[in-house]
Each structure stands twice: as structure tokens, then as C-alpha cells.
Chains A and B, each alone.
Chain A
């Protein structure tokens, strides 16, 4: 039995398979969140903030689970580059953002009480290092040699998935999570940060879209998946990645813009309800 999805070289069938490592990973995150919620309950009176944050976190966790477990995890590890990049969008982009948004605000006070952690996160989550880490991480974790070497072992596939989650958390942190004693980014800067990430074409995605032949041996030499061929699947993967990233960044930029407008309106006229801060 496998504990994490990795390339197996066996013909695909729709028989369900358990991945205990994925369940354990998701259960640990859920347990950690429950402990945080108990320690940092929503402020009284609850204006809906606590429910909203819980909903964001649970949605993010479900998406992370869906990305890593059967069938998407197994398809992405062994058979389809398009499933692999869909996993990435879920586990490395959408889920980290939602989960970060779901953390109780009071929990970030923990960072202030730990000077080493404060300095570490302060440096790592500054927009410039965050931008570099996310984009270098995205490029390295999709580089053909890295993917082909990592996906053949469960430990390698696990490392790749963890790198995605790590890079995703770092990416969203400057936008969604406070570092005490550091002023938050102006909404215009946040939108600029998202726009830059949305339009950037990273080398592996250009290779996926424009290569004459498949770039990943994992998918090129995998037992055929009905109705696809490796080159078309790879081009589809490149399109999913490019359009998916742009769409996610666009939605996030729109939400930030909307909250910015609401906050401005509330500042001018106290009778206007202020937006829920993102």
C-alpha cells in the first residue's frame, strides 16, 4: 500500500486506493486549526468574522485534500500532466490562500511573542522575497528533471507537494496575513503584486505550451490514459496553468479592490458598513 501518491507505471483504472499519508497530513492540519480556534476564539460580539474564517479554512483544507488524494493525486503523480498542474493550482495556490485567510487574527499575536519567528517570517514574507520564493519555487518544482526524479518515489512526490504548499503560503502571506509591527501593503500594491504574478509566464509553462515533444518522461512513458496523448495533455496542462493562475490572481485582485472601495466609503460615511477586511 502507498502512503503518498507517486508514479507507479501501472495501467490506470478507477479502483479507489487509500493514501494514508494524505489523510494523516490533512488530519494534522485540521487538528492544529481546531486547537488555534479554541485558543483564539472570535471576538465578542461575533460579527460573522469567526464563521467566515472557519468557512475559508475548511474550504481550503478540502481543496488541499482533493488535490493530494485519489483520484486527482494518483492521476497527477503518474498519468496526466494536466492533472498534475490542477493539483498545483489547488494545493499550491488556492488552498494556501484560503487557509491563511481562515486563521484567527489573534493567532498572529503568537508571532510577535517569538522574536526569532518574527524576524524569520518578517524577512520571508516581505513582498519581494515572497514573490521570488513563489516564482522560483513554481519554476523549480515544475522543471522536467525535478518532476521526473521526484515523482517516482513517494518521498519525492511528498517533497514536491510540500514545496507547493510552502510556496503558496509564502506567496499569500503579504496579502492576507499580518506581520505585527509591519504596516500592511496598500491595496494598490496588493493588486500590483497579484497582477504581476498573473501575467508572468514562467519557463516550464512556456515549455509545456510550446515544446515540440513532451517534456516530462513521467507522463510521456506512462501507460496511456484513454482519450489523450502525452503532447496534447501537456499543452492542455500549460493552458490550465496559465489561465488558472491568471484567473485566481484576477479574482483575488477584484476582491481586494472591492474591500478597498468599501473601506474608503466607510471612512467617509460611518453609516456605510465597512467591508470584511481581506
Chain B
């Protein structure tokens, strides 16, 4: 009986553990993936923007046969963008070299005013020099986002030098066959990516 307060304290902490917030796969589907399948049996996305060398980058051609991750963000982003990019760099870096060569991360800037090609290249290099950075006008970028069923970016008007850009917080995975798109929201953890990467590399679209 005299240990009751201590036991109550332990019970409180154990019950807190049971309240662990849900992971990223709150949108239940029958796939073994931690991310949410938003389209299957479709075609590889088609769009062209400029890369950080100023050359046109046609997504459909450049990523054929590759597992691709598309993310819309900006280099001054204080939280979601660097977290996603750092995680992808870590988990992709742990794949064996052959698989690593079959993965492409494509970062599309939603802040054309501040993200010059040099700024974007330097920022992406801090995660992985292999990451692709794409640029376009805000209208061009938003047209791509909308074609991928993602919300458009919102840049505040007359905000001066320091401002926050609203943008989609999800990473969109496109499987190597191009037929399946999987969404990974903010909250996806390293271990989720590490579990899904091998599955995504082998993924075949379920064509009815």
C-alpha cells in the first residue's frame, strides 16, 4: 500500500505512452505502405521547369524508370522543408548504391523571388548534391502542383524580405513504373521512409 503513489505515477506515464499520436498513415488503405496511395494505374506526371543550371527539366523524361519524390517548398522554410529533405537524404543515403541510383528527389521552389538557382543549389547540396532543384514562375509552379492534386503555394503580397510561404507539406512519391502516386504528409518519420523505400522501388501499379 505504501508504494501506491509510486505505482500511480508509473501508471500515469504508461497511460501517456498509450496516447502516442498517430503516425503518418492515418488515411487507412490496404497497401503495406506507410504513405497514402492517392492514385494508381495512372501515367507519369508531365511537366517541364528549369533546373538550377538553367536547363529545361522535363520530369516525365528525366525520371523514367526511377522512383521519384516531388516536394514543393522554399529554402527559407523554417521547418517542414528542411525536415523532409534531411530525412530523405538520410534514408536514401542508406540504400545500397544500385538502389540509390534508382531514386530521384525533385524539389520545386515555391519562392521564385528569393530562391535563385544558386541559392537553391547551395541549399539542396547541404542535404544531397544529387537532389534536383526546379524553378519557374509562381503560376507555372502552381499549375504543376494543381496537376498533381496538391494545393498551390501562397506567397504574401508586399511582405518585404522576410516572409513565410504557404505550400503543400506532403512529399509525393511516383513509383518507377510511373503509375502510382503516394503521398507522405508531415509527420512521416525516418523509419517510415526506410520501410517504404524498398517497397516503392519494386512497386507495380494495380491496373484493373
**A contact set with B: CB distance below 8 Å:** 9, 11, 119-120, 123-124, 129, 133, 136-137, 140-141, 143, 145-146, 148-150, 152, 156, 159-160, 163, 166, 170, 212-214, 217, 220-221, 223-224, 229-231
Contacts and interface: CB of A to CB of B under 8 A. Distances in A.
Interface size range on B against A? 20 to 34
Given A124-B2, A217-B189, A223 B83 contact: yes
Nearest to A136: B10
Given A146-B17, A163-B13, 6 more contacts: A119-B2, A120-B2, A133-B6, A213-B190, A214-B189, A221-B187
B147 interface: no
Contacts of B95: none
Nearest to B194: A213
B86 to A, nearest CB: 6
22 contacts: A124-B3, A129-B3, A137-B10, A141-B13, A143-B17, A145-B16, A145-B17, A146-B14, A146-B16, A149-B19, A149-B21, A150-B16, A160-B13, A163-B9, A166-B6, A166-B9, A213-B90, A214-B189, A221-B83, A223-B83, A231-B90, A231-B190
B13 A150 contact: yes
Contacts of B189: 213-214, 217, 220-221
A198 B124 CA distance: 43
Interface string B58-83: 00000000000000000000110011
Given A123-B3, A149-B17, A217-B189, A229 B86 contact: yes
A141 B16 CA distance: 10
A224 B3 contact: no
Interface in B1-44: 2-3, 6, 9-10, 12-14, 16-21
Interface of B: 2-3, 6, 9-10, 12-14, 16-21, 78-79, 82-83, 86, 90-91, 94, 186-187, 189-191, 194
Nearest to B23: A217
A70 to B, nearest CB: 19
B78 A223 contact: yes
Main secondary structure, interface of B, reads helix
A213 B3 contact: no
A140 B3 contact: no
A10 to B, nearest CB: 8
Nearest to A146: B17
A64 to B, nearest CB: 18
A225 to B, nearest CB: 11
Contacts of B9: 137, 163, 166
Q: Which of A9, A129, A145, A160 has the most CB of B within 10 A?
A: A145
Given A213-B190, A221-B189, A146 B3 contact: no
Contact of B20 (A11, A123, A148, A224): A148
Given A11-B79, A124-B6, A159 B191 contact: no
A8 B190 CA distance: 21
Contacts of A163: 9, 13
A149 B16 contact: yes
